[in-house]
Amino acid sequence: MRIFKNFIKNAKGNVSIAFAISAVPMVAIMGAGLDYAKGQQVNAQFQSVVDSAALAAAASPSESISELESIVGSYVTRNMKVKGNYSTPEVKVEKLEDGKLEVSIKTKLQTNLIKVVGIDYFDVKAKSIVTREFGNVDVALVLDNTGSMSGSRMTALKSAARNLVNTVYDAKSDDSVVRVGIVPFSDYVNIGMSRRNASWADIPRDRNTRTRAYRWRYRYTRYNCRWRYRSGYYYYRDGRRLYRPGYRYRQCSWRRGARYRQAYWIYDRSIWRGCVASRNYPYNTKDIRPDIKIPGVMNRSCSREITTLSTDRNAILREIGRMSADGSTYIPAGLMWGWRVISDAQPIDGSSNAQTSNNGNNNNGQGYNTSSGAKVAKSIVLMTDGANTRSPRYSQRDHQGGSRSTADNLTAEVCRNIKNSPDEITVYTVAFSVNDNATKNMLRNCATSASHYFDASNSAKLAEAFEKIAKSLALLRISQ
C-alpha cells in the first residue's frame, strides 16, 4: 500500500511537471490571440487616422515634404485615441505622379502576454494615397482695392489673380463645375446699382436739387510775385508711407479791390453709387437675418462692383482687369461680402443650384445641381496689403470711424463665424507687403490653418502664394 501511495505521489508530480511545461505554449497561444486582436484594433484606428491626416496634408497649400510630414505627424498625435503603448509614429510623405500624395506611417505596439516567448512588439503600418481632383469648386476672391494698392501692387495683384483663375478652370474635369466670384473692397463694397431695390437693402432715394442765391464778393489783384521751393516730405496714404519730392511754386501777395454782387447755386445732393455699409452689431459679423437690412452709403464712390459666382472665365478675367485702387481699408466689409457671395443664404444666394450672373439676375447655365450628392469645395481667398484704417459708425451708417482695434476685433469675429459656418468654407489669407506684425497675426489667425496663410513680401511671392492656393482648391479623395 505504501509503495502504491508513493507511486501516486510520483505520478502527480509528473502531471504537474507536464502541465507546467505545456502552460508556456498555451499562454503564448492565448497571448498571441489577444495581442493580435489588439494589433488589429490599432491597425484599423491607425488607418482611419492616417486617411484623415493624408487629406489634411493634401489640402495644405504647402509644397514642402517636411512641412507635410509635420502636418501628418501633428494630426496623428492629436487624433490617435487607442489605448496601449506604442512608439512615436514614423511618418513618410511622398509625391506621386498625377498630383497624388502618398502618406505612410509605421509604429511599434508593445505586446503583453506574448512577451513570454520573446515577442516584445508588433509592427503596425498604415498607408493612404490621396488623389487631387478639380470637381465642383466655388471660390470668392476678396481683394484689397484701396489707395495703397495703386501702381505696381495692383498690377501684381491682377496678374496673380488671373493666373489663379486660369489654373482652376484649366484643371477642372469635364463633368465638374468651377464658379468664381470677386469682391473688390476698400472702406466699402460696391453691390451694384441693379440691387438698389433688393428686399435686403435699405437705400434712400436720390436727391439732387439746387437753389439760386446771391452774395457780395471783392475783386483781388496779385502783386509782388516770387518763386518758392517746397522740400520733399513723407506722407501716409491708407497706412502706407509714401514720399513726395520737392517742387517749385509761385507765391504772390493780394490786394483787395471793389465789391460786387455774385450769383451762385446752392446744391442739395444725395446720390447713391452702389456703396453699402454695415448692419448694427452683431449682425455685421453674421450671414443671417436678411430681414435686417444693409444700409446704403450716399455720396460715396467705392471699388468695382462685386461679381457673383460665375462659370464664365472670360467675364471673371475682365472684371479682374477693371479693378482700380482708391479708398481706405476696412477688411470686415470685404470678408462679409465674400461670405455672402459664396454662402447658401441670402442676400446673395451662392448655393450650388443657384443660377446667377454678374449682375445678380438669373442666367441659365451659371449654376449646377448637387442633388446627386456631388460635393462642392467652397473657399474664400482674402488678400490685403495693410492694416484696418477705418471702422464702422453705426449711428451715421458709414465706415468713417478711425478705431483700428474695433475693426481688428470685428475682422477676427467674422473670420471665426465663417470657419464655423455650416457651409464648410476654407479660408486662405494673403498679407501682401505688410510690415505690421499685428495685421499679419490677425490674417494668420483668420486662415483655416497656419498653412492657409501666406506672407507675400513682394510681387513674386504674391504670385507664388496665389499659385499654391489655386492648386489646393481641388477636391480630395482617398484612392488607396
CA–CA gap between residue 343 and residue 470 (Å, rounded): 20
Q: What's the sign of the alpha-carbon dihedral 78, 83, 89, 91?
A: negative
**Across residues 58-67, what is the average pLDDT?**
74
pLDDT at 156 over 80: yes
- How remote is the C-alpha of 299 from its chain's centroid? 32
**Segment 168-183 mean pLDDT:** 87
- What is the arithmetic mean of pLDDT over 102-115? 72
Task: Find out whether 230 and 244 touch, Cβ atoms under 8 Å.
Answer: no
Q: What per-residue string of b and e applies to 386-399 under the rule 16 or more CB within 10 Å gives b?
A: bbbbbbbbeeebbb
The sign of the dihedral angle between the CA atoms of 381, 385, 391, 392 is negative
All domains of the chain in start order, with CATH:
2-133 (no CATH), 136-205+273-478 (3.40.50.410), 208-270 (no CATH)
**Cβ contact 417:177 at 8 Å:** no
* Residue 56 and residue 72 in contact, taking contact as beta carbons nearer than 8 Å: yes
Residues 327-381: pLDDT tens digits? 999 999 999 999 999 998 878 765 554 444 444 433 333 444 443 446 788 999 9
Measuring CA to CA, which residue among 98, 106, 122 is closest to residue 69? 106
* Strand arrangement of the beta sheet that strand 121-133 belongs to: 90-95, 101-110, 121-133, 475-478
For 192-243, the pLDDT digits (tens) are 999 999 999 999 999 988 899 999 999 999 999 999 999 999 988 877 888 9
Least confident of 6-10, 72-76, 328-332, 463-467: 6-10
Indicate the DSSP class of residue 291. T
Q: Which of 414, 381, 398, 176 is nearest to 287 (CA)?
A: 414
Write the DSSP symbol of residue 119. -
pLDDT of residue 361: 37
Q: What is the mean pLDDT of residues 140-163?
A: 96
Choose the weakest-confidence range: 303-307, 380-384, 470-474.
470-474
C-alpha to C-alpha distance for 262 and 127, rounded to whole angstroms:
87
Angle at 287 between CA 206 and CA 397, to 5 degrees: 35
Mean per-residue pLDDT for 236-255?
A: 89
∠ CA 201-334-323, rounded to 5°: 100
What mean pLDDT comes out for the span 380-393?
96
DSSP states of 176-233: --EEEEEEEESSSEE--GGGTT-TTEE-PPPEEEEEEEEEEEEEEEEEEEEEEEE--E
5 has pLDDT over 60:
no
Average pLDDT, the chain: 83
CB atoms within 10 A of CB 179: 27
> pLDDT tens digit string along 394-446?
999 999 999 999 999 999 999 999 999 988 899 999 999 999 999 999 999 99
CA neighbor of 179 nearest in space, from 370, 443, 446: 370
Question: Which secondary-structure segment (H or E) carries 433?
Answer: none
Helix (H, G, I), strand (E, B) or coil at 317: helix
Q: In angstroms, rounded to a whole number, what is the distance separating the alpha carbons of residues 467 and 471?
A: 6
- Predicted pLDDT at 370: 44
φ/ψ of residue 325, rounded to 5: -100, 130
Please give the pLDDT value at position 383. Answer: 98
Kindly tell me if the per-residue pLDDT of 115 is higher than 80: no
For the chain, the first-to-last Cα distance in angstroms comes to 75
Listed residue (231, 88, 150, 73) closest to 433, CA to CA: 150
Distance CA 248, CA 154 (A): 31
Q: What is the dihedral of CA 63, 65, 69, 70, to 10 degrees?
A: -70
Rounded to an integer, the average pLDDT of 18-46 is 56
Name residue, grid cell 445732393.
269
148 within 8 A of 241, measured Cβ to Cβ: no
What cell numbers appear for 417 in the block? 463665424
